[in-house]
Amino acid sequence: MTFDHLGLSPALQRAARAMGLLAPTPIQAEAVPAVRQGRDVWATAPTGSGKTLAFALPLVDLQLASQARHIGYRRPIRTLVLVPTRELAVQVGKVLSALAQPLGLKVAQVYGGVSINPQMMGLRGGADMLVATPGRLLDLVEHRAVHLAEVQHLVLDEADRLLSLGFADELHRVLALLPAQRQTLLFSATFDEAVQALAHSLLREPCRLTVEALEAQAPDIHQRAIAVDESKRTSLLRHLIAAHGWERVLVFVATRYACEHVASKLYKAGIQATAFHGEMSQGGRQQVLEAFKAGRLNVLVTTDLASRGIDIAALPVVVNYDLPRSATDYTHRIGRTGRAGASGQALSFVTAHAQAHWALIRKRERLELALEVEPGFEALDEPPPAAPGNGGIKGRRPSKKDKLRAAQGQRPE
């Protein structure tokens, strides 16, 4: 199948070919016709399957049709794409701009962490399509720089994170500003039970699309789990980098403090490493990311900020220095490698305290991975006694969601 078979306008097909797009992926082949028909869509597809273009192509096509009927100077925002992070806003904005701007459409992207004034200036006269993080969008609404009364198409990209506890309040405030009659699209790699409930409340008779990763299409990621004492993890990481000659490694840790601490230890050991986390300025984050992509940095130590919405071409290795809080985050973390047909490696350091948590991740992800031992770094610590109850997959410390449930007399997940 080619894009010719999806009914897209000739002008949009030319724009797609200019981007090097020749044939739709499975999620694009299913989603494009449904979106063009005006249906609500609830789509689940694996990381790297082309979800962004699955909504970008048909929405640009619909926007072109409505643009032809538009008269006047001010461009009303017809399409709103909500994303959870600045990095994803930039990435989605680039895709939409590459498709839409050659066709005369204006695409804007707004996100926090930078001055609001240039974004307000950029929105003078409106925009046809807007990519936004919820918090900054609400700031712009309060400044009367954005009007959402004419939005016809709403996209929730990485919906599982957008609808999580941290974004729920802001998301509800944004939804209250939108017309009730609109097309709503939910795209994500995963959906937990809470997201499913909210999706059912948002969507009207949605077209439910699920594209599974076929074995032939599955990323070529060699996964390993290494038992190691907590105090030996940095030494083990340095040893593996040197022994295997890894030139670029993305290292996931649990906290901002751990980012700075681990990156500093590696740098002092002569490894070009730096931290990447949400407390950095947007400019600083972009500078670090570009340096890592260009190979000027060998190791990027990050929180789950970098687990989604960031595409690093030919990234060979991902290391879970700290295990992720959930199996879903594990999927997104290791999905940073083995992209676009390339092979990759994903290693997880499993301390004695994390063994029960690792067992739950393995169960959720159906992983047949035995704990390995790296010679010279044998684990000596003993696992702690099992705690009563199921403990949840999120580890030893309760999350905000767990605390709220406890206050309401509910059991944690």
Mean pLDDT of 373-401: 68
pLDDT at 65: 79
Delineate the domains of the chain, giving CATH numbers in brackets. 3-210 (3.40.50.300), 220-372 (3.40.50.300)
The answer to whether residue 69 scores a pLDDT higher than 60 is no
Mean pLDDT of 290-304: 91
> What tokens were used for 54?
């699955």
Contact criterion met (CB below 8 Å) for 336 and 314: no
What distance in Å separates the CA atoms of residue 341 and residue 71, rounded to the nearest whole number? Answer: 45
Cα angle: 112, vertex 117, 120; to 5 degrees: 90
What are 90-124's pLDDT values in tens digits?
889 999 999 998 889 999 999 998 899 999 999 99
Sheet with strand 207-210: strands edge to edge: 107-110, 129-132, 79-82, 153-157, 183-188, 41-44, 207-210
What distance in Å separates the CA atoms of residue 343 and residue 337, rounded to the nearest whole number? Answer: 7
Mean pLDDT of the chain: 85
Helix (H/G/I), strand (E/B), else coil: 209: strand
pTM beyond 0.75: the answer is: no
What are 311-337's pLDDT values in tens digits?
777 789 999 999 998 888 898 899 888
Cα angle: 340, vertex 345, 349; to 5 degrees: 140
The beta strands (E) that lie in 128-233 are given as 129-132, 153-157, 183-188, 207-210, 220-227
The beta strands (E) that lie in 45-170 are given as 79-82, 107-110, 129-132, 153-157
Question: Which helix (H) or strand (E) segment is 42 a member of?
Answer: strand 41-44
Mean pLDDT of 262-268: 96
What are 150-184's pLDDT values in tens digits?
999 999 998 777 766 567 789 889 999 999 999 99
pLDDT at 64: 86
More confident residue, 9 or 228: 228
